[in-house]
Structures are given as C-alpha cells and as structure tokens.
Amino acid sequence: MKIAVCVKQIPEGAHRRIDPTSKRLDRSGEGALNPFDANAVEEALKLKESTDEAEVVVLSLGPAKAQDALRKALAMGVDRAVLVSDDAAAGSDLIATSYALGRALERERPDLILFGQQAGDSDGAVLWAAVADRLRRPMVSQAAELEHADGSVTVKRQTEFGYDVIEAPLPAVVAVSDAINQPRYPSLKGIMGAKSKPQETLALAELGIEADRAGEEGSRTEVYALNDPPARGENRRVEDDGSAAEKVVEFLVEKRLV
Amino acid sequence: MRTLVFLEHHAGELLKGPLGVLSKAASLGDSDVAAAVVGSGVRQLAGEAGTFGASRVYVADDPQLEAPLPQPRVDVLARLVRDRGFDNVFLANSVLAADVAAALAARLDAGLNWDLTDVVGEDGRLVGRRPALQDSVYVDVGWKGTPRIALFRSGSFDPMVTGGRAQLEDAPVELEEFSMGVRMLEQAHEESEGPSIEDADVVVAGGRGLGGPENFTLVEELANALGGAVGATRAVVDAGWYPYSTQVGQTGKTVSPKLYIACGISGAIQHKVGMQSSGVIVAINKDPNAPIFEFADLGVVGDVHQVVPKLTELIRQRRGQ
C-alpha cells in the first residue's frame, strides 16, 4: 500500500503577519511543519507499521525552504518527500493549490491520501475536498479513528451532531482530526536518518502544470484590503464580595437578556 | 446577481446557520434568491425556506441522498449552477458544508472564500470580510469571475422571517460514480438534550476552573435556567470531562449566541476564536489576570463554585421557575 500525506510548512506562530504590500502571509521567517499535519503523518506511520508492505510519502506545495518541514516528517519515519516549489506558484489559492497538488498526486498514484484537519496559519480547512474532487476519489473528513482492511478504510468521525461511521473504498482521500492520535517525536536516529532519505523538488513544468493555472494567475480569489479588527465590548469588571451574582443579573436585565 | 444558498438540515429541520445566510443573501438587493435542499424526504422542509427570503427552492429529493455526505451534494449543486447560471453560491460553515464548498469550487473552477463573517456589494463587486490570524486582522476578499463561492462563519447572520412563499422546483439528481463510493455505516444522532450549541441563543460554557467533571452540573443548571446550551473548552474535552460535541473553539464549534457565559475559562486563543463573536460575554474566573477578561463585557473575579449556583438561583426566581 502506498500512502501520501499532504503537508504544509507554516510560519512560526510568533512571526505570523500579513505583508501589507503583497497582502499575503509573510513566509520569510522561520517555518515549521503545520502541527495538524503531524497527526496525518502519525496516522500514516501507524498504518505502515500494521501493514506488511507500505510506503509513506509526504507531499507539499511551498517555498524551497519548506524542505525543512518535510525533513521533520522524514525524521518521524516517512520514507520520502516530494516538494512542488516554483516562484510562479506563490500566492496560489484553493483552486491553484488543489490543481498543483492534484497533478503531483496523479504522478504518485497513492492508495490513500491523508490531510491534517486545518492549516495552522490560514485556518484553511477545505483543501482535501477540492483535491478529492480533482482526482475524482471518495473523500471523508474529520476522521477521529481510521481502520484499514480489504481495500477500504473505515472512519469514525466527529460532526456537529456526534459521531458518524463511514466506509470509503480505496483509493480514497481522508482528512484526520487532531483527536485521532498523539504525533510521535522524531528520535535522534530518525533525525540522523532523515538526511539520507530521498527529498525531491519539482518545478511546475515538471508536473505539466501550465503557468496560468498556478500562483495569482491561476487563482480565483483575491485580497483587496487589510483592516483593523473592530473594538470589542465594554469590559466592565466586578470583584466578588458575595454580591457578584446579583450584579450579573442586573447586567443581564440591563442588556434585556433575561 | 443571482445567488443560490445551500440549506443544510438535520433531524427534519433546516439549520439556523444557512437560514441566516439565506436572509443575508436576500438583503443584498437581489430579487431572485434561490435555495437548494438536498436529501431524502425533504420536500416539506424545502417549502419552509420561502419564509426566510427564498423566492425559489430547488429540491433534490432522492433516497441516494439520505446520508449527509458531501460528494453527492456537489454533483447536484454543480449541475444546478451550470444549468441555471448562478453568480453566487453561499453556504454556512459546518463539517458537511465546508467539504461541499471546496469540492464544488474545484468542480466549477470557481473561487472559494471561507470563514467570512460578512459580505457586501461595493461598486458592483462583491466583497467578503474575513477575520484572519486569530482575528487580529480583518481582510477584504473578492472573487475573480463567477461563480463566486462563499462559506460563512457559523452564526454570522440571524435568520429573518419575511413571510414569503417559495416556488418549488425539482433539481436533477445525476450522481458521479466516485461520489457514491463512500457509505455511511452509522449516522450521528443528536447526543445532547436541549438546543444545539450552534443554534442556541444562550451558551453557558465550562473550563478547567470548574475543578472536575462533577462540577459541570453547575454549568448545566445555569444553562437550563436560561434555556441555553452547554459548551466546553478543549482542555476539559481532552480530559474527558465533557463530550466533544460541546467543544467551543478553533478545533470545535464556533458559536455566536446572544449571551455567552464562561465559567472557569481562561480564554486561551483556541477558545476565543470560537466564541468571541457572541453578543454579550460574561466571564467568571478567580484569576484576575485571565485573558478572557480582556474581551468579556462583564468580568467577575470570583469563585465559580460560589457565583454560579447563586446566579442560577436568582435567574430561576426571576423566571418563576
């Protein structure tokens, strides 16, 4: 079985800002593997460990230095990494990103494609569905448990209404929730070994991706302006001297909430 | 500008989130706002959409659409958008709707902007408002070309009853083979009693400061007295004190009730993003430095075990319970 895990490198939390000129997330500083993607990597490794023959490959679209994030996945135990990196891909939105990833995945032809539940920087939580549609494959999101048997996966997942149990035939696309597992830390041996594992970088042209389907040109959304958030609330405060409950009720009455 | 709104439903009821989006679409000045109801045995439900501003409702009613799975819904909506030439497709965020929106965008090669809290018409173009980077910046976003797909943050708009009547029309159901691959073996049923947390006007939530799972009864009783729903933080859900279905925050539900009462919650960013658009926020916490006091309308520095039961009692008296 071949498992592909789609991951993203995101800027470290403290450095996260939007560049006012390009109106894009500033990706010039230190980056890290999106923590939600570590859950998908962990799940792929668990599946590999419970299967006789399996290969796990991580795949990403991003700047050249995203190799660092991929190396962390390799250190965790992933077999090899593929990075699609091209200046022309900068600023890709969902449409352009899903197209490029789709092409890279067609080249790999995995049996199972895993995603994490969201990007820690943009809060995007939809990419898998666009990729699954491009590949015309069955898709399940929010997996909290994943089992593989006889050419299909069974997923227990969380929704607003409780838990669903869903079966999807392979090849399939599954997005896992961060409740599914606790990602392992790379061992020292893993970190040392990662350096000798195959790490491939592909330009868009190598995947046959037309320049007008990538980056801003290939995107269908745009950013017009950045604004300050609205001011919040009136911020009253009381210290409880035994009468706080009465004060809360007075406040709720004043706001016509009771 | 012609807009189609995807109306999600559960347990025989249209959800409040998409009805709010429908009301918003109707307020943009379109004479022609349509809705789509997709499922099995949903004709009755479709009729109700007229009350909230839809002039036409497309009904895809087919046993194959029984399970609330995204891919068959994409087939139905893509066909509708292509055949009827809609300019906009609006959805209210949910596990189902997010998957539908993104797959539909790929299918139609259309732009998707997500996590929007508002949309306005400006100089003949549509502008979406999206809070980003933990809501520290508000981004104005747009679409290049049509159709434009917009996924709105849960609870962004209140449904408004217009009292109109919608014309019902059957939507063709032709499903792709790959869309039929996924099978629902067991479908979720509402676990909690009372109003669902995303639809509730009042949410009373508990965090670590309650001290233990047994103290959630304090929160439940206050919620009960106010006719509200119970919420929980990631920390207490992870600790097994309360079910995930009640989790409010970045990796749980996003709620915006009229009143949010936070009991023993510090207000970590992960929680804040799920509830900060609530109308009025009351926080009770014994730590005067808790971040939640920075964005609460009323902050009570005190012990939840003292304040909450008293508050419940006073509210019960007031409401004559």
Q: What secondary structure does DSSP assign to A166-178, as a single string?
A: EEEESSEEEEEPT
Asked if residue B192 has pLDDT above 60, the reply is: no
The residue in chain A having the minimum alpha-carbon distance to the alpha carbon of residue B138 is A227
Which pLDDT score is estimated for A59?
A: 98
Q: Which residues of B touch A221 (CB under 8 A)?
A: 111-113, 141-144
User: Is-contact B74 B107, C-beta < 8 A?
Assistant: yes
Per-residue model confidence as pLDDT tens digits over A21-49:
888 888 777 789 999 999 999 999 999 99
Distance from CA of B156 to the nearest CA of A (A): 15
User: Is-contact B260 B160, C-beta < 8 A?
Assistant: no
Who among B145, B282, B306 is closest to A220 (CB)? B145
The residue in chain B having the minimum alpha-carbon distance to the alpha carbon of residue A118 is B251
Percentage of chain A modeled with pLDDT above 70: 98
- At B122, is the pLDDT very low, low, confident or very high (cuts 50, 70, 90)? confident
Who among B142, B181, B296 is closest to A222 (CB)? B142
Which pLDDT score is estimated for B198?
A: 85
Q: Which residues of B touch A130 (CB under 8 A)?
A: 102-103, 105-106, 112
Which has more confidence, A122 or B312?
B312
Asked if residue A233 has pLDDT above 80, the reply is: no
Which pLDDT score is estimated for B189?
A: 65
Distance from CA of B82 to the nearest CA of A (A): 17
Which pLDDT score is estimated for A14?
A: 62
Per-residue model confidence as pLDDT tens digits over B219-262:
999 999 999 999 999 889 888 899 888 999 877 888 999 999 99
CB pairs under 8 A between A and B: 261
Q: CA A203 to CA A4: how far, in whole Å? A: 19
Asked if residue B193 has pLDDT above 60, the reply is: no
List the single best residue of B8, B122, B178 to mutate versus A (max A Cβ within 10 A): B178
User: Is-contact B4 B186, C-beta < 8 A?
Assistant: no
Per-residue model confidence as pLDDT tens digits over B21-77:
999 999 987 668 999 999 999 999 998 998 998 999 999 999 999 999 999 999 999
List the single best residue of B100, B108, B286, B298 to mutate versus A (max A Cβ within 10 A): B298
Distance from CA of A130 to the nearest CA of B (A): 4
Q: Does the distance separating the beta carbons of A166 and B185 come in below 8 Å?
A: yes
Distance from CA of B59 to the nearest CA of A (A): 23
Asked if residue B133 has pLDDT above 60, the reply is: yes
List the single best residue of B93, B117, B133, B238 to mutate versus A (max A Cβ within 10 A): B133
Which pLDDT score is estimated for B35?
A: 97
- At A234, is the pLDDT very low, low, confident or very high (cuts 50, 70, 90)? confident
**What 3-state class would DSSP assign to B227?**
coil
Name the H helices within chain B: 16-27, 43-48, 70-84, 95-108, 216-226, 234-238, 269-275, 292-295, 304-318
Per-residue model confidence as pLDDT tens digits over B134-167:
677 899 999 999 999 999 987 789 899 988 889 9
Q: Which residues of A touch B258 (CB under 8 A)?
A: 257
Q: Which residues of B touch A136 (CB under 8 A)?
A: 176, 178
What are B263's strand-pairing partners? B206, B284
- At B269, is the pLDDT very low, low, confident or very high (cuts 50, 70, 90)? confident
Q: Which residues of A touch B102 (CB under 8 A)?
A: 94, 98, 126-130, 133
Q: Which residues of B touch A18 (CB under 8 A)?
A: 132-133, 137, 139
User: Is-contact B8 B96, C-beta < 8 A?
Assistant: yes
Q: Does the distance separating the beta carbons of A222 and B143 come in below 8 Å?
A: yes
The residue in chain B having the minimum alpha-carbon distance to the alpha carbon of residue A95 is B106
Q: B269-291 b/e with 16+ CB inside 10 Å = b?
A: ebbbbbbbbbebbbbbbbeeebb
Q: What is the CA radius of gyration of chain B?
A: 21
Q: Which residues of A touch B112 (CB under 8 A)?
A: 93-95, 126, 130, 220-221
DSSP code string of chain A: -EEEEE--EEE-GGG--B-TTT-SB--SS-EEE-HHHHHHHHHHHHHHHTSSS-EEEEEEES-GGGHHHHHHHHHHT-SEEEEE--GGGTT--HHHHHHHHHHHHHHH--SEEEE-S--TTT----HHHHHHHHHT--EEEEEEEEEEETTEEEEEEEETTEEEEEEEESSEEEEEPTTS--PPPPPHHHHHHHTTS-EEEE-GGGGT--GGGSTTTT-SEEEEEEEPPPP----EEEE-SS-HHHHHHHHHHHTT--
Nearest to B198 by CA among B127, B137, B141, B278: B278
Percentage of chain B modeled with pLDDT above 70: 97
Mean pLDDT of A99-125: 93
